[in-house]
Amino acid sequence: MSTLLTGIGELVTNDPERTGDGPDGRIGVVERAAVVVEGSRVAWIGPAADAPAADAVVDAGGRAVLPGFVDSHSHLVFAGDRAGEFAARMAGTAYAAGGIRTTVAATRAATDEQLLSGARRLVDEMLRQGTTTVEVKSGYGLTVRDEARSLAIARTLTEETTYLGAHVVPEGTTPEQYVALVTGPMLDAAVEHARWVDAFCERGAFDVDQARTVLLAGMERGLRGRLHANQLGPGPGVRLACELGLAAVDHCTYLEDADVDALRDSGTVATLLPGVEFSTRQPYPDARRLLDAGVTVALASDCNPGSSFTSSMPFCVALAVREMGMTPAEAVWAATAGGARALDRDDVGVLAVGRRADLVLLDAPSHVHLAYRPGVPLVAGVWQRGRPVL
Ligand code: NIG
Ligand code: FE
């Protein structure tokens, strides 16, 4: 079964073979384009005038099509919410990592069914906003049983699952005892469900030596590493991620020149999470500085009940453009191809022959409208692995 999606006013491909100069160069735009989808893959891309015949035809009516968003950082397996904490922050209370323990208590008390239905609701919410690939972390269980079941639940929703036992040290244990648990029995239980290992390297969570211990233990068991770092203040986390050659280091809000140099030299992706700064009233990360230095930048939602309860990649794109010095094209690339790099994936984030047919149709003539019309539900159609899901 093949489908011809034609009448595309602007097709964002991110295909390196189609990129060029100018502000939109990096996103490889094809104008007046068509795409043929066969099964779950892209079979043909080019000018609509040259398109081959297909079993079915969909007319985009001159609107824009882009690759599905790749949200490379989220925490969707949890119970309860922290709206009260958010309201208190907006009245002047500072964000602190300790709020995580509130969600841990609610998560431990929830049934598997409650956790699965909450996470599924958020994945569906993401899909409706154009996210076709999402990474999901554990980290609100913090016992062997609760981390294992969080990951098993995440695994039913995505192949990109991340073991974040090292989120905070739970009450009733010392950091030393807890790191031993995270790198021992908890890791034993996590490896069968997880692709990635992560740690929260921050004041109030884990220091750089503890984060290194956790990452190396996971990597020895075949997990790939990623890291939360430099969210609440400067520190050595970003350089640790670069030294270990991790795929991505996430937050990167407080950076020194040595961090930017290390990111550029290592190829580790800097994943920026502007929903966090929106929701914590901290300064936004300086994407311009990173891009100008030649660092690969991704954008992700960090969807979680504490620091960023948004599931919307269009919202993150708009924030990145308005608050972080990114052009619309840079932000769209970071939210698609950048996310794919951060997950070490080459089958998503780019529209080219043989890649996954994950596409978003906007109710707008170009990608610029994602930032130009913030807060407007512009996602009019979504195809995931070639299947229309919206
Ligand atoms: O990515 N930084 C650590 N973890 C989450 C916050 C979790 C929470 O506050 O519940 C984050 O921002
Ligand atoms: Fe996070």
Distances (CA, A) of 168 to 81, 127, 150, 177: 18, 29, 16, 13
* DSSP codes joined into one string, 303-340: BBTTTB----HHHHHHHHHHHS---HHHHHHIIIIIHH
Q: Is 140 annotated as a binding residue?
A: yes
What pTM did the predictor assign?
0.98
3-state secondary structure of 153: helix
Evaluate if residue 298 carries a pLDDT over 80. yes
Confidence at residue 143, expressed as pLDDT on a 0 to 100 scale: 98
Burial, 341: exposed, middle or buried (Cβ in 10 Å; 0-12, 13-18, 19+)?
Answer: buried
Distance 272 CA to ligand 1 centre (A): 13
Q: To which CATH superfamily is domain 2-68+349-388 assigned?
A: Urease, subunit C, domain 1 (2.30.40.10)
Percent of the chain at pLDDT exceeding 90: 97
| pLDDT, tens only, 343-357 | 999 999 999 999 999
Residue 201 in tokens: 């390297």
Which letter does DSSP use for residue 237 in this model?
H
Which residue among 137, 228, 310 has the greatest number of ligand 1 atoms within 8 angstroms of its CB, and so is best to mutate?
A: 228
Per-residue pLDDT, averaged over 304-333, amounts to 98
Per-residue pLDDT, averaged over 324-331, amounts to 98
Per-residue pLDDT, averaged over 7-13, amounts to 98
Which residue among 142, 307, 308 has the greatest number of ligand 1 atoms within 8 angstroms of its CB, and so is best to mutate?
A: 307
Any idea which fold 70-342 has?
TIM Barrel (3.20.20)
Protein residue whose Cα sits closest to atom 1 of ligand 1: 302
pLDDT band at 252 (very low <50, low <70, confident <90, very high): very high
As for ligand 1, residues whose beta carbon falls within 6 Å of it are 75, 99-100, 103, 200, 228, 231, 276, 302, 304-307
Would the CATH topology of 2-68+349-388 be identical to that of 70-342? no
| pLDDT, tens only, 59-110 | 999 999 999 999 999 999 999 999 999 999 999 999 988 889 999 999 999 9
| pLDDT, tens only, 129-141 | 999 999 999 999 9
| pLDDT, tens only, 173-219 | 999 999 999 999 999 999 999 999 999 999 999 999 999 999 999 99
pLDDT band at 236 (very low <50, low <70, confident <90, very high): very high
pLDDT averaged over the chain? 97
Domain-by-domain residue ranges, the chain? 2-68+349-388, 70-342
Q: Is 75 annotated as a binding residue?
A: yes
Distance 308 CA to ligand 1 centre (A): 8
Confidence at residue 97, expressed as pLDDT on a 0 to 100 scale: 82
**Taking Cα atoms as reference points, which of 308, 264, 272 lies closest to residue 103?**
308
| pLDDT, tens only, 111-164 | 999 999 999 999 999 999 999 999 999 999 999 999 999 999 999 999 999 999
pLDDT band at 359 (very low <50, low <70, confident <90, very high): very high
Q: Is 311 annotated as a binding residue?
A: no
**Taking Cα atoms as reference points, which of 43, 35, 85, 27 lies closest to residue 60?**
35
Instruction: Report the half-sphere exposure of 199 (CA within 13 A, side-chain side).
Output: 33
Confidence at residue 21, expressed as pLDDT on a 0 to 100 scale: 81
Is the CB of residue 44 less than 8 Å from the CB of residue 52? yes
Atom of ligand 1 lying closest to residue 103 CA: 10
| pLDDT, tens only, 17-39 | 998 887 788 999 999 999 999 99
